[in-house]
Every structure is written in structure tokens, then in C-alpha cells.
Amino acid sequence: MYPSAAAASPPRRDFISVTLSPEEGRGSGGYNNSKAWRRRSCWRKWKQLSRLQRSIILFLCPALALCGVISYSSLGEPWKSLANKSLSDQRTEAAIPGLKLANPAVLPAPQKADGHLGDYPELAPQKPPKLPHGRRGPPSLQLKPPRRNVRLKTQYDTSKAVEEPVQAEREENPERPVISWRGAVIEPDQSPEPPSGKVKEAEKPSSVEAEEQKEPVPINERQVAVIEAFRHAWRGYRAFAWGHDELKPLSKSYSEWFGLGLTLIDALDTLWILGLKEEFEEARKWVASDLVFDKNVDVNLFESTIRILGGLLSTYHLSGDSLFLEKAKDIGTRLMPAFKTPSKIPYSDVNIGRGTAHPPRWTSDSTVAEVTSIQLEFRELSRLTGDDRFQRAVEEVTRQVHSLSGKNDGLVPMFINTNSGQFTHLGVYTLGARADSYYEYLLKQWIQGGKKENELLEDYMRAIEGVKKHLLQRSQPKKLTFVGELAHGHFSAKMDHLVCFLPGTLALGAHNGLTADHMKLAEALIETCYQMYAQVETGLSPEIVHFNLHAQKGHKDVEIKPADRHNLLRPETVESLFYMYRFTGDKKYQDWGWEILQSFNKYTRVPTGGYTSINNVQNPSNPEPRDKMESFFLGETLKYLFLLFSDDIDLINLDKFVFNTEAHPLPIWVPA
Ligand code: DMJ
């Protein structure tokens, strides 16, 4: 259904074939005689020359040869790059069915009408210039920028032209924190210090201290397709929802959740990683001038931590721009009232303007996943600012949850009470909604802290054993391994799409030295998650599936209930595909991700800009668009697809970074 690039690519020719004429091949006597004759005749002529004439010729020959060598080396490069360009363009077009680089109908021409979005920029690779000493914040964690071997536009080459002014600026005023962004100069905001004091000189993430800059790896055709999808989504957001939380692409409007530009912040580091420099600069300007947290709004602690705090921290690490750290400290500080509860288990909601917090109206419970999946971000905020209040607050939660009763072989219930600090609604266990990222953050915190916090690892290992013992089953007819749910001793063959984070997390654990069994389980589960897409009419997974435990004629493994057949553009499967490809190098994972991207493009893309959630993955003729683009589509789904298609392990190196649950990479404190 979806041809793989390998199948569609023309055979590569890495050789030049020279065909000799039959005469030349055989060699005639006439040819040899004539050559010998010419040699003799030349020698005779040389002898006839005077000594002076011979000396002049002997002097001129080497001089001309030298000139030739010099001029070839300066003129040769442009010719070489011209030749490369046309070859790579051809390969791109051959590998992506229907893709014509010069054809705006497929790679739409950038929108000019609004006067902001320029043409596809030429992002030629360059090493990020070293930032001046004394600037606040860590050295830029700038990863080698992905290089385009597929040129979308060859209008101009900015790489050298822009680096020179940066250099000049630095020499003129070495103290001024000029941030270079792949050739662009970004003036840092002159905003005042955040409310609660000075952001301390950040610790240098050791992961980058000694990193030598290697040559960037060129990006490939599938990555170009992701960039194109991102730009399409961004175009819609920019035109109809700029600065608002979410795009409503069909009604060409927006919806607000917290009123904090959620999509824009969630997408900042994706813009960076994809190399979308103009868009990044424009978004940065919005953050500098319009992102204000001093607002009388209730925000959800978990959602604003993983999307806003996480997004700002990772963008700070990637760009080295202190604006993002200042904003991170501001929002982090404003979220702290959530922890003022009788038990120190945080409330779900905080008013970031008033400094008050509360649980939801109907209960004093918080969700377990929510209170245990904010640790990566707050710990990192403490490390960067030197203010340990953030870390202490979240580690108190970890400490309490670690020793609570009510677990079932490491599996946790879904709710925890903010007064008593005890689990509630005991007896129900899932790896899906309300519990999922508890498990993810056990492992990831252990990795973040340099694999020293043994209790985190113990809880993680015990939980995976619990999953194996209570929740793993195999479906019929394909015998797909899946993770079901347990309610008061009764097994349910129900699996949320959210559970598809698990293969990636298991693979990450195995990569970090945990048992190879985890990798085996990861391989089995990612196959299942893929089938949740492949067995459905649109090629897109529903929100929830039920697996068949007994073979029935004409039935597939996956059953979908009418209430569950929506797709919210979620990332978990492509996230796991990314980890699986990174750790195994098995191209089938890239091919599966490619199929999923095609399906998103076919059924969720809105022609006027943006992508939409859909209500019915089983109806290709009318998938019933929902008119909403979730911020995680840009923050996570497209980012993971881009990384999945990359062969550059240094593009967010997993021995140096750990992704938060919203796909924002944070540095590992003591890297492997
Ligand atoms: C994201 O906000 C995060 O990945 C979270 O952990 C789960 N839900 C969404 C994506 O599906």
C-alpha cells in the first residue's frame, strides 16, 4: 500500500562505465605504429630547437601546470556542489512517490500572502560559532545541525555570509550575548530578571563540554517530507491561531486552554531541530514580547510542566538563549503553590497569577501519572538555577509514592489523595491514561541522574515484572503481544494508544544496560502498536483498541468500539519507533513510521493549513475531522518522525539527552 523508499528508489550508480570501440579494444597495428612514429617525430623537432627556446619551454610548462592546479581548486567546488544537487534532487523525487521538488503542488510554495513566511530557507550547514565567555547559561548544546542534501531552494547560501557579521559583532563587543542560530543572529531579550531573583550561572552540562564538532549528517528525503508537514501545520497555526493554545484548522480559528501560546512553546525545540530558522526567530520574538505568566488563569500542573516548562528548558539547552531559562524559571516558580497541600502531593491546578492552587472541583485526588511525571523538569530547573526548592518538592512526591502501599507487583493505582497522600481507587491497574508516564519517569529520572538513584530503578524493574505477570497477553489470530488492564482481578484486553510509549521506554532501558528481555518485549510490543495502525482502514490508530483473545473467523486482532475510534494525532507509536530504530538500526521501523506519516497526510491534513484530529479512523471516505490540532502534534509527533528518519545518532544523542514525556530533550547530568 505504501511503497518503501528502498522499493521506489532507482538503483544507485556509484561507478562510471566506459565503453571502448572494438578497434580500440582489440588494438590495431596501425594505431601502435602511428603512436611510435609520432614520438620519434616530436623528439626530432625538440632537438631542432635552440637551447634558449628549450629553456623557455621547460620553465613555462611547470608554471602553467601550477596555475592550473590553483584555479581548479577554487573553481571546482561550485561545480561539484551543482552536480551533487541535481543528483540528490533526483533521488528525493524518486524516493517519495509524488514528490517533485520543483513542484509547488506537492511541496507547497511557502505562503507569501501574509508577508511573513519566506521561501524555504537555504540552511547550509555550519558549525555553531563559539559563544563568548562570560555569557550566562550553558554552552549551546547545539547539536550538529542537520544538513540538507536535498535542496529545496538554491537561491542563496547564507552560511558564510551570516557568520561573518556574527564574528565581527563578537570581536567588537565580546560581552554582548549574541546568539548564533545556524547562521542567524538573534538578539537576546533585554528583559529583567525573573521575579524570584537572579538566574544563577548555569552548570555546564558535562555532556557537551568536551564534545568535538563533527561534520553534520545530511538530512534525507523522508526528513524533508516531515519538514514539509511541519511547515504546513505551522502555516495554519501562524495564520489563524498565532499566540493561542491550539489551532482549529477547519474553522480557521483557535481554542484556549491556558491562554499561554501552548502550541508555539511546545513547538520551539522542534523548530530548532528541524532547522526552521526563520520560524524559530519569529516564535522567539513572541516569547520575548508576548509570553506573560502573570495572568489570572488556572493551569494544569502536569500539562504546563511537560509542555511549557519542559519546552522552555529544552529550547534553552539547544539554543543557549537565556530568555528561555528566564521564562522557565518564571513559570516554574509560579507552579510551586501546587505543592502546598496537607500531604505535599500536589494539586492538579494552579492559578499562576494569584499563586493559589486547588484540586479539581469534584475530588481532592490527583492523578498518579500527573504528580509523578513532573520530576525531570523541576529537577533540571533546580540544577540550572541553583534553587533546590523545585527539586525538593518533586522528589518528596517520588519518595512518598515509592513507599506507598496499594501497589500490585510494582503497578500503581491511578489516583492519589492530596490530603492523605494515599492511593485511592485501589485495584485498577493500567499502563494507559492516568498511570502511563509514572513508569516512564522512573526510568528516565534514573538516567537523568546518572543511574545512581537505585530506588527509581528498583521501582521500574519491579513494575515491568508486574506488567509481565498481570497485564501481558497475546491476541488472535496474529498472536500480537499487548498490555491489557486489570480491574479488581479481572483482565481486560483493552489497550490505549498511550501505552505505545512503552516499547520505546523498554528499549531505552535495555540500551542503558537493563536486561535484554526488555528489548525482546519492546520488539513484540512495537509490532502490536504498528498493527494498531496497519489493521485499520485509514492506516491510523484509534485512541483505544480491544484485542481478540480467541480466534474468530473474519475477525482481526484489533477490535474498535464506536466511542474509541478517534485519533488525536498522538505521538506514542512514532516515539517508540524512533527508539527502536536508534537502538537496532532495523529499517523496518523507519518504513512503518513512513506509512504512518502518509496516513496523517492523507486523512488529517487540512488544505488551508494545519492538521486535524479525526473522529473515525475506520472511515476513509469521511474520517470526520474534529477541527483541532493538539500541540503535541508539533511538539512530539513530527519531532519523533524527523528523528526516526535520521541516521545521525548525534541529532539528540540518547546518551546525552533524555526526552521528557512531551518529547522535550533535557541533558543527562552524567552522560554515558
Ligand atoms: C502528551 O501530552 C504526552 O506525551 C503525555 O505523556 C501523554 N499525552 C500526550 C500525547 O499523547
CB 385 less than 6 A from any atom of ligand 1: no
- Whether 122 is a known active-site residue: answer no
pLDDT given at position 670: 86
What is the mean predicted confidence (pLDDT) over 375-384? 98
The separation between CA 141 and the C-alpha centre of its own chain, rounded to angstroms, equals 15
Task: State the cell numbers at 501.
Answer: 510509549
Report the percent of the chain where pLDDT is more than 90: 67
Mean pLDDT on 499-523: 98
247 Cβ contact list (under 8 Å, min separation 6): 233, 236, 237, 240, 241, 254, 263, 609, 610, 628, 629
Mean per-residue pLDDT, 212-226: 86
Over 50: is that where the pLDDT of 324 sits? yes
For a pocket test of ligand 1, which of 258, 314, 440, 632 has the largest count of ligand atoms closer than 8 A to its C-beta?
A: 632
Q: Are 380 and 313 in contact (CB under 8 A)?
A: yes
Residue where the block lists cell 501562524: 238
Domain-wise residue ranges, the chain: 227-258+366-666
Q: Has residue 186 got a pLDDT over 80?
A: no
Expressed in angstroms and rounded, the spacing between residue 98 Cα and the centre of ligand 1 is 32
- Judged on CB neighbours under 10 Å (0-12, 13-18, 19+), 647 is middle
Burial of 243 (0-12, 13-18, 19+ CB in 10 A): middle
Q: What is the mean pLDDT of residues 85-108?
A: 29
Average pLDDT, the chain: 78
- Is residue 662 within 6 Å of ligand 1 at its C-beta? yes
pLDDT of residue 237: 99
Residue 661 has which C-alpha cell?
A: 514525556
**Residue 220 contacts residue 581 (beta carbons within 8 Å):** no
In the residue annotation, 624 being an active-site residue is answered as no
Name the β-bridge partners of 485: 492
Q: How does residue 30 score in pLDDT terms, banded at 50, 70 and 90? A: very low
Fold of 227-258+366-666: Glycosyltransferase (1.50.10)
Across 67-71, average pLDDT: 46
Q: Name beta bridge partners: 218.
A: 147
Q: Does 661 appear as a known binding residue?
A: yes
Range name among 46-55, 324-333, 589-598 with the lowest pLDDT average:
46-55
The DSSP code sequence of 59-115 is: HHHHHHHHHHHHHHHHHHHHHHHHHHHHHHHHHHHHHSTT--TT-TTTSPPPP-TTS
pTM above 0.75, yes or no: no
Q: What is the mean pLDDT of residues 233-260?
A: 98
Residue 211 has pLDDT above 50, yes or no: no
| Res 167 pLDDT > 60 | no
Task: Given the residues 303, 349, 370, 459, select the one marked as catalytic.
Answer: 303
The answer to whether the beta carbons of residues 554 and 507 sit under 8 Å apart is no
Q: Please tell me whether the peptide bond between 477 and the residue prior to it is cis, using omega within 30 degrees of 0.
A: yes
- Residue 377, pLDDT > 50, answer yes
Query: Which residue has the least CA distance to atom 3 on ligand 1?
Result: 662
For atom 10 of ligand 1, the residue with the nearest CA is 570
Cα(262) to centroid(ligand 1), Å: 13
Distance CA 514, CA 508 (A): 9
Q: Are 538 and 602 in contact (CB under 8 A)?
A: yes
- Output the pLDDT for position 45: 58
The secondary structure of 228-286 as a DSSP string is: HHHHHHHHHHHHH-TTSSEEETTTTEEE-SSSS-HHHHHHHHHHHHHT-HHHHHHHHHH
Q: Which atom of ligand 1 is nearest to the CA of 373?
A: 6
State residue 58's pLDDT score.
72
Mean pLDDT computed over 196-203:
39
State whether the beta carbon of 613 lies less than 6 angstroms from ligand 1. Answer: no
Q: State pLDDT tens for residues 265-297.
A: 999 999 999 999 999 999 999 999 999 999 999
